[in-house]
Chain A
């Protein structure tokens, strides 16, 4: 019975824990918050970085990057497939390209924070065949410490995405495109 176990676990944790130790303060280690660093790291883990001068060049940029994408979905422009939190799985599974706004880029590891509010549907960033994250270059920070310091909260769901889905589970051979998006482009403006 769960309630009895709850009491038992909490009582045992209380009885067996060591004397209280202090919680360390985590410093801001500084670091390099540059586009160059972000680009080098993300490229090194299988992602691509594309620069554009302003947000209004987005559709043209994507047209060049993904000329064959038929089913596209995005909150930033009129894609071919409108998606919201109620969109059935069958429709999501057919999407070739999702273009979503990222919030924060992390230079040390190439990760981009993607909150639920920017995803249209929670499954969209992983079920789409290809993913493009659109990021204001001024939102690049150096480290994960700085990224978390800038997050007001993590919402109902949210994630850092660093590169395309990948695996090395067969003989440690790196294969890009495991279950999630086969490619990841970060479009910086």
Chain B
């Protein structure tokens, strides 16, 4: 199923689509206000991009440095080649602890690896503790945004969900009261939690620490009350030095939600006395992406979501239409690396307007990569036949002045003579599904120009040097 077909489903509710569009644009505007308040913001983007490029160019060395530093801190370091190994490592740690109650803070990596269903299948209770993630966990839905996981839902939807799962009053939809109900519910889970799983925003090679950024405080509460902390990170989360965090913490929240910084920027370096800390370092296709020169810059991503908030396609099609853990423009360049066939339509879910590239805090050339993925997909014959042949046909037409002229004449005539039902038939003309073709003029510009009187004075021909 293609992105366009899934987007159709989202678009059925016009009011909700408009609300989604406007709400995300509002977040984009908040981002702008926060960004304009920092005079050196563009320099920070350049620095962040440079630090990430440098890190990727020494990735194996920094991973080794990070591992040694973490081990010296008394942290267990595990390596997982793929999602299955990541899940198996985490299950093994939990089983060795004899634990069954797990609290988890936000981690797109564990979503990518489908950790929750795997653990539940093995009889382990996993509670997502980020409010948005808890809401969608109750509803058995995937997140629709990497920073705002439940942005596809209205407060009434959350009210219904909490009425069913938390016993709040029927019809209660006040965000304050719903959040309070979740606070009480999740406090009990935090207090009972035996093992806490967190994601990682930044991993510092120099100190072996992992840094986790949240607004709710759920990572700190979960990790610091549990016996064991498991932090799951992709290999691209590494940054070289503690001082580099000055750059990234100034960019992340401003780009994501327009806040000057997240409420909590927590540095987990050593386990508390008597407790244990594990870090699982995951590849799952990342080294392969590193080996693709056109696409490796996607590994610089710090998961702020700014490209989603600004994307005219994402805002009007919703995160679920991408059917990938990371939706939006960045998801559309990450996903074909994982499964080109399955995600073949995503690089086409873009107008190539470049707004994603403009807001990206680490300067990933997102829209250029979208364009390049289209070439790769075309070469690999992974685009629908209708698109492939119409593109080939248009290529021929546009390559020849004569064919283009004839084609124009034919099209103008056909548009005037053929019935609307035929020229706008969805089966014949996908472009006209939601658009009107223009009224065809009698003549083209070239035909008109040819009939104009010739200028009296001929311009002198430029001398072409031999």
Contacts and interface: CB of A to CB of B under 8 A. Distances in A.
B59 A17 contact: yes
Interface residues of B, number: 95
B80 A171 contact: no
A163 B224 CA distance: 19
Given A10-B63, A180-B220, A145 B246 contact: yes
Contacts of B269: 154-158
B141 to A, nearest CB: 14
B167 to A, nearest CB: 17
Nearest to B30: A172
B272 interface: yes
Contacts, number: 266
B80 A159 contact: no
Interface string B63-86: 110000000010000111100010
Given A157-B272, A167-B215, A17 B290 contact: yes
A171 B155 contact: yes
A54 interface: no
A83 to B, nearest CB: 13
B58 interface: yes
Interface string A117-155: 000011101110000000000000001111111010111
A110 interface: yes
Contact of B155 (A16, A45, A143, A170): A170
**A: interface residue count bin:** 35 or more
Contact of B179 (A10, A29, A158, A178): A178
A156 B272 contact: yes
Nearest to B86: A5
Contact of A170 (B54, B179, B224): B179
Contact of B57 (A17, A122, A153, A158): A17
B44 to A, nearest CB: 8
A2 interface: yes
Most buried by B among A2, A162, A170, A177: A170
Most buried by B among A15, A85, A109: A109
B247 interface: yes
B281 interface: yes
Interface in A63-119: 85, 89-90, 92-93, 106, 108-111
Most buried by B among A3, A19, A168, A169: A169
B243 A148 contact: yes
Interface string B117-146: 000000000000111100100000000000
Contacts of A167: 131-132, 179, 215-216
B158 A170 contact: yes
Contacts of A168: 148, 215, 257
Contact of A89 (B39, B191, B245): B191
Given A172-B23, A178-B179, A45 B79 contact: no
Contacts of A53: none
A13 B287 contact: yes
A172 B26 contact: yes
Contact of A178 (B53, B183, B288): B183
Contacts of B216: 165-167, 178-180
Nearest to A172: B23
B42 to A, nearest CB: 12
Contacts of B150: 169-170
A169 B287 contact: no
Interface string B214-227: 01111011001100
Contacts of B58: 17, 20
Contacts of B169: none
Interface in B311-357: none
A125 B260 contact: no
B293 interface: yes
Contacts of B50: 21-24
Contacts of B218: 178-180
Nearest to B245: A148
Contacts of A143: 246, 250
Contact of A165 (B178, B215, B235): B215
A19 B59 CA distance: 11
Given A156-B269, A161-B264, A162-B263, A169 B54 contact: no
B248 to A, nearest CB: 9
A172 to B, nearest CB: 5
B190 A179 contact: yes
Interface of A: 2-3, 5-6, 8-24, 26, 29, 41, 44-45, 85, 89-90, 92-93, 106, 108-111, 121-123, 125-127, 143-149, 151, 153-173, 175, 177-181
3 smallest beta-carbon distances between A and B, as pairs: A180-B217, A16-B291, A169-B132
Interface of B: 23, 26-27, 38-40, 43, 46-47, 50-51, 53-54, 56-60, 63-64, 73, 78-81, 85, 89, 129-132, 135, 148-151, 153-155, 158, 175-176, 178-180, 182-183, 186-187, 190-191, 207, 209, 215-218, 220-221, 224-225, 235, 240, 242-247, 249-250, 257, 259-273, 281, 283, 287-288, 290-291, 293, 296
29 contacts: A5-B283, A19-B57, A21-B53, A85-B272, A122-B220, A123-B221, A126-B217, A126-B220, A154-B242, A157-B267, A158-B267, A159-B220, A160-B261, A161-B263, A164-B263, A168-B257, A169-B148, A170-B131, A170-B178, A171-B23, A171-B153, A171-B154, A172-B23, A173-B176, A175-B176, A178-B215, A178-B218, A180-B217, A180-B264
Given A123-B221, A155-B267, A158-B269, 15 more contacts: A2-B79, A44-B260, A45-B260, A147-B246, A149-B246, A170-B135, A170-B155, A172-B23, A172-B26, A177-B179, A178-B216, A179-B183, A180-B216, A180-B217, A180-B263
